[in-house]
Chain A
């Protein structure tokens, strides 16, 4: 990008500067550490200069927003045209309580819904199952049947609001319920917009909320991709996730590489199903974390876009530009927030949110400062929302696209992220793919090792966490925490039992029988699951049918 002669001059001058000015300075005051490394274990230089980007080719490596390789953004105007969606993940207690929280957030300015389900729902158990005891509504909203979904979305116009559902194992069932509610509201299916997370691969080595074994899970994921491609053109059938991988202990590079590889696997699975790449690829979406190291995260987001674009073009021969773009949702990191001095978490979240915006995300969730203590209170979640609004309207960060492009540091870091991620991708290819890597524990080992290293660094104060291993105050200012009333469980169980009495049980039995048959014949199960939810079969009942056919997953432990 810069001509050779000028670079050599800079090199010469830099060397002079190192031997003179720098030398004198360091002699008086040595640097704080002998080495500075980021979380991905990359060596961070004290200074980046034009030398570091001498091979940068603007058109090839950066290009323009809205065009291949999309490094600078997936849309041509980015936030100048439309701000990112402020989408706060929420849900707790009963469907009715969460419905109220949704309406509150929409009123306060959030622009899309994101549903957090409770553990029994996520793991496919009804609220009165023995496993559900003590867990109903406790860390998300409980949805055991279409009736609950109807209550949850009551008064929310599904043709105007898009909804993200963080659901994986029973994604098909919950998507079916959403479609059923849309049908009832009279919204044409082609207008329904939203996302189902539906990313089973990462469940097997990161979030661990699996129901069925890997192959069968991948089959269900592909069913949803196929169904949406044909019937729900505005729906993102999958949100290929790195967030959970990162929270489980991986570093930024591993998050990037493993997420992209999962994406590769889903594309392959969809191609095997008979879909053509340009049919489904435009609706694939991604979900990343954003941690404290501002520049590492920005580089990660940019490298992700560029690398995915290349993969789609070169590995999968996509033709449409939209098949190569990577749209992402970002959530600020939960595991970096502390229980100690919780108010300072607002600062961490702000930095993380800024990284996501400077990194070009399409949608953002900011954590509440009480994250390490409980579910967010109303006040805490409002502050989180305001964080995004201040960045959007007061900081100027949204006024130009990809503002850090051309920075010697950022471009250098972006390149390094991309290269190293490609090494990982090659490695997993050599292992035989994602499922083989899951079965031999590769991802799990990488994550466990990273997590352990992080902990040791913290214990040994190589890594400072303000308020925890440094600047700890000891005395805590109590902040209000959100509690779930145990009555929630009792009421939900009563509601569920009443549902089972009042519905047409013959119809339920008949539909479930057909589901069993269809599952054995390996058909796309979405249509019949929609029928099943409309008959008010419960989530647990539907999942149990598939448990019988597919079996249940047992995790491989790697510490």
Chain B
């Protein structure tokens, strides 16, 4: 599977779907190979043209020579336990592209929740070497918000004329969306939809470092898709910079602490040497009258004791 063998990938995802002890073992064994893929979440109400847009997105990535994995999630019927998985129909032409792997998953009744199962499936695709992993959901239920959080970049799609565009975007998604797309932008109310979304984003996202942009696309023709990809990559770079920033900070912190430690130790030891205290205690250690740790403690207490009491 790690070599990218498609049958193995499929079987691996089935193991995850079967949700038993094998699942844990599988995830443990592939974990070290994950972390390279950019996981993108795509959500939007029915009628937004999401599936058509995803197909265009995949094509655009393929043009850039990236490999893509797709997980399309659909609800399991609470009455029958069955599910109709029809999302891949819009992407079917891509099914024979060896650089694209599409898998449909039903929400079932996972012990750890569908979000975890989706996350694990994404890990499999990541470990198998996919550059991009797209997770697609309908965006019409609370579990959808959880599923989409699996992603690093969350893209929210809507279309003008779907009734109240903003209502159509589930509460919760508004707050976590990283990029908003108004599809079917050749329609009349497209610009208004863009403005409405921008207005709400302004209210909600004052604190965020990343200001979610609102883009326009026409999925049928592919218009706007390259720009969308660019924005996704921009977000990815932003996240990496954020991560870099965090890492840099942690690194710098560690280095500072190290430096302080070193400087402090050096100057104290120099002082103790010059005062002869260092040699004094060293003799005692050699004579086995005291151990090094206690010696250090005594020395420091002597040196800093007054300060400590004062402090």
Contact = CB atoms under 8 A, between A and B. Distances in A.
The answer to whether any beta carbons of A and B sit under 8 Å apart in the complex is: yes
Interface of A: 213, 439-440, 551, 554-555, 557, 559
A554 B47 contact: no
Contacts, number: 13
B220 A551 contact: yes
A554 B52 contact: yes
A376 to B, nearest CB: 34
Contacts of A213: 220
Contact of A551 (B47, B89, B221): B221
Nearest to B93: A554
A551 B52 CA distance: 13
Contacts of B311: none
Nearest to A553: B220
Interface in B31-62: 47, 52
Contacts of A439: 47
A439 B130 CA distance: 34
A557 B51 CA distance: 12
Contacts of A440: 47
Contact of B84 (A551, A555, A559): A559
Nearest to A436: B161
13 contacts: A213-B220, A439-B47, A440-B47, A551-B220, A551-B221, A554-B52, A554-B89, A554-B90, A555-B89, A557-B86, A557-B89, A559-B84, A559-B86
Given A551-B221, A557-B89, A559-B84, 10 more contacts: A213-B220, A439-B47, A440-B47, A551-B220, A554-B52, A554-B89, A554-B90, A555-B89, A557-B86, A559-B86
A443 to B, nearest CB: 15
A555 B84 CA distance: 16
Contacts of B84: 559
Nearest to B220: A551
A41 B307 CA distance: 96
A551 B55 CA distance: 15
B188 to A, nearest CB: 12
Nearest to A439: B47
Q: Classify the secondary structure of A's interface with B.
A: loop
Contacts of A559: 84, 86
A555 B89 CA distance: 9
B76 to A, nearest CB: 15
Contacts of B89: 554-555, 557
Contacts of A551: 220-221
Contacts of B90: 554
A439 B84 CA distance: 20
A213 B184 CA distance: 14
Nearest to A559: B84
Nearest to A555: B89
Size category, B interface: under 10
A213 B49 CA distance: 14
Nearest to B49: A439
The CB with the most chain B CB atoms within 10 A, among A439, A440, A551, A554, is that of: A554
Of all A-B residue pairs in the complex, the 7 with the closest CB atoms, nearest first, are A557-B86, A557-B89, A554-B90, A559-B84, A440-B47, A551-B220, A554-B52
A555 B86 CA distance: 12
B57 to A, nearest CB: 15
Nearest to B84: A559
A387 to B, nearest CB: 41
A555 B90 CA distance: 8
A559 B220 CA distance: 23
Interface string B68-88: 000000000000000010100
B50 to A, nearest CB: 12
A440 B86 CA distance: 16
A256 to B, nearest CB: 28
Nearest to B90: A554
B88 to A, nearest CB: 10
A439 B52 CA distance: 13
Contacts of B221: 551
Contacts of B47: 439-440
Interface in B216-242: 220-221
Chain A CB count within 10 A is highest, among B52, B90, B221, for: B90
A557 B52 CA distance: 13
A213 B221 CA distance: 12
Nearest to A440: B47
A7 B212 CA distance: 73
A551 B90 CA distance: 14
B133 to A, nearest CB: 24
B230 to A, nearest CB: 24
B33 to A, nearest CB: 35
A439 B89 CA distance: 16
A185 B52 CA distance: 48
Interface in B193-230: 220-221
A440 B163 CA distance: 13
B158 to A, nearest CB: 15
A431 to B, nearest CB: 12
A237 B220 CA distance: 29
Contacts of A554: 52, 89-90
Among the interface residues A213, A440, A555, A557, which one has the most CB atoms of the partner chain B within 10 A?
A: A557
A229 B221 CA distance: 33
A554 B55 CA distance: 12
A559 B52 CA distance: 19
A208 to B, nearest CB: 13
Nearest to B184: A439
A213 B84 CA distance: 25
A522 B221 CA distance: 17
A424 to B, nearest CB: 22
Nearest to B47: A440
B220 to A, nearest CB: 7
Interface string B154-187: 0000000000000000000000000000000000
Nearest to A558: B86
A554 B220 CA distance: 10
Nearest to A557: B86
Contacts of A557: 86, 89
B48 to A, nearest CB: 12
A79 to B, nearest CB: 48
B272 to A, nearest CB: 81
A361 B86 CA distance: 41
B6 to A, nearest CB: 23
Nearest to B92: A554
A554 B90 CA distance: 7
A559 B74 CA distance: 14
A178 B258 CA distance: 90
B87 to A, nearest CB: 10
A439 B162 CA distance: 12
B274 to A, nearest CB: 85
A213 B219 CA distance: 13
A213 B52 CA distance: 13
Contacts of A555: 89
B223 to A, nearest CB: 12
A92 B90 CA distance: 33
A421 B220 CA distance: 34
